[in-house]
Amino acid sequence: MNIGDKIPEILGFDANGREVKAADFAGKKLVIYFYPKDNTPGCTAEACSLTEGYDALRKAGYEIVGVSKDSAASHLKFAAKYALPFTLIADTDTALNQAFGVWKEKKMCGRTYMGTVRTTFVTDEAGVITHIITKVNTKDAANQILAL
């Protein structure tokens, strides 16, 4: 997905098995942040930054949705452990990762594998992408969004 594209209507299923749709956020700006894995240092820092800045983000008109390929059960534990106030989508088949173009080949320790490239998409009230953050500051993610 690129700036100017409208996000898909069906986003996936949250940790409680509820279908999440773009229409659920109609009239609000939406932050969809893709992250590699629950309970890892960078992903935890990003989720906590968004939690700490949640009230300011909401006052600025944003709703937040996190997406990773972790299971619903993993998301439930992650959200409970860090008191995350926003929706997490369990994209176990990576369909949403692929639709947004963040499921890519990665390399670590000489190993090549497919994984999520940490990326944040911001939409307007009509679900059209207005900003894409590819260099996410995990420790200051909320302020990075608020500065847009």
Active site residue 43: yes
Q: What are phi and psi of 36, to 5 degrees?
A: -65, -45
Q: How far apart are CA 122 and CA 62, in angstroms?
A: 9
In DSSP notation, the chain reads --TTPBPPSEEEEBTTS-EEEGGGGTTSEEEEEE-S-TTSHHHHHHHHHHHHTHHHHHHTTEEEEEEESS-HHHHHHHHHHHT--SEEEE-TT-HHHHHHT-EEEEEETTEEEEEEPPEEEEE-TTSBEEEEESS--GGGHHHHHHT-
Say if strands 129-133 and 119-123 run parallel, antiparallel, or are unpaired: antiparallel
Catalytic residue among 11, 15, 32, 43: 43
Catalytic residues: 43
